[in-house]
Each structure stands twice: as C-alpha cells, then as structure tokens.
Amino acid sequence: MSALHDPVLDWYAAHARDLPWREPSASPWSVLVSELMLQQTPVARVLPVHTQWLERWPTPAHLAAEPSGEAVRAWGRLGYPRRALRLHAAAAAIVERYDGEVPDSYDELLTLPGVGDYTAAAVASFAFGRRHVVLDTNVRRVLGRVLAGREFPPTSVTRAEREEATEVLPDDEATAATWAVAVMELGALVCTAASPRCEDCPVREQCAWRAAGYPAYDGPPRRGQAWQGTDRQCRGRLMAVLRDSDGPVHRSRLDVAWPDADQRERCLASLSQDGLIMRKGDTFRL
C-alpha cells in the first residue's frame, strides 16, 4: 500500500494545518474536547472556543467541578449545545471511573457519555497513537472516491466502507494514526464535497472516481440543513439570551427574542427536556 500511503503521508507532512489539538504537547483531554466541538462545526469556529475552554478547564476534573450550565454558557455559539452537556457528563465520568485521566482504549472511551464509534476511534488514534479505522465524513468521501469511484459516501457508514478502510489501514500503529488524520485533512482541504481540487491531490492518479470520469452521485437525495425560521434557529436565539445573562431571565425577554409564541413555547419545552435550561415560574436560566 506504500503507493497510496506515502503520497498522502508526505502531503500531510507538508500541508497539515497547525491546530492546537494536534500539537505534540496536546493532552488527551484537548483532543477529546476538540472532537466533540468539531462535530458539525467548522474548525474556524471551534478554534477560539477550544482555546478558552482549555484555559478555563485544563483537565476533566476542572470541568466536572462546575455546574453543567457553565459548560453550556461557555459553549457559546458553536451550535448543538447538547454536546456541551455530553462533554460535561464525560468529564464527570472520567473523574469517577478513570481517576481523572482520559482512558486510552477504544472500549473504555465508548463508555463515556456522548462518545460513539467515530469519537472513540479518533481519540484513541489521535491522542494515544492507536491503530483504528477513523471514519468521519471527510475520510469516507476521500476513500469512497479513491477506492470505489463514488462521489459521496452513503448516508450512514456501511460494512463495505469499513472493510475498504480497514484494508488500507497501515499495520504500524503510529503510521496508522498519522494516516487517519492525514486522510481526514486531505478531505477537508483538497477532496472537498463541493469543489474538489483534484489537481492538488497527491493520489489523483490512483483515484477511481477521477479515472471513471467523475460520475455524479446517484444515491438518496442529499438534503441541506435549513436554518431560517426553524426550531433550531429559535432554540439558538433563546439560548443566546440565557447564555448572555448572569442570572435568571424573565419570560418577557424571551418573548422579544422570538415573536412566534407557539414555536417559542415548543422550543422552551424541548430545551428544558434536553436539560439545557431550567424553569421556575416565569423565569428561565441555564
């Protein structure tokens, strides 16, 4: 596999972005925090929040010692704030079960709240140099194009994808860990979803999708995520008011933030059900 591995690894050595969670001094906690934050959120938005988070809570114990509402407040505008609750719960579990140290095995990482297959494999690989198949959207897109000639991966990870990824995973642990992040970076910077820069790809001559003439995706419709006027936007607007307040917020301020009363009440109820806010009479707080 050196004909595939070497070009990608050499490209990564020359073009990898300088990110704090990739520094040799980065702690496993930094890697775990970054992985939770990067779910559905671009790197540019994550960078400042990740830095502030690690400055305030440099270890899981620091975060676990504070109320979960503070994690939600510090999450800021990253979106999908339930991830903040999961990260807080993961910190508490790390303190309770693993003496405050992020576990180094895939199986133990899977026991943490909010950690699924991808995150467990990514943290074990990136933080501890373990050999695992790491399948995020970028990796799946690169391998699907290069190995199978598919423009886009299926909506969820398939057995065939996992087998393809396993077949090309380097045997050496350290090399496999670098390979995982290198393919991810290639998908983020070159083999992008909308405008792939094939002329800059280190494995363009081996790409099955390119060789086939770039056949268009023919799977189920790929739907973009709507935002304007959705419950997601409403929830975000309400959360912003609560996050920017030091204490309880009266309902009247939330009424101004979102004028549609039915949608506002529905979103307040869902935020409460998700454990993101607390209500007492006509006041609300994180």
- Which one is catalytic: 35, 161, 164, 185? 35
* 8 A C-beta contact, residue 150 and residue 182: no
Q: Is 35 a catalytic residue?
A: yes
User: What is the C-alpha separation between 277 and 268, in angstroms, rounded?
Assistant: 8
Count other Cβ atoms within 10 Å, centred on residue 16.
15
Residues with active-site annotation: 35
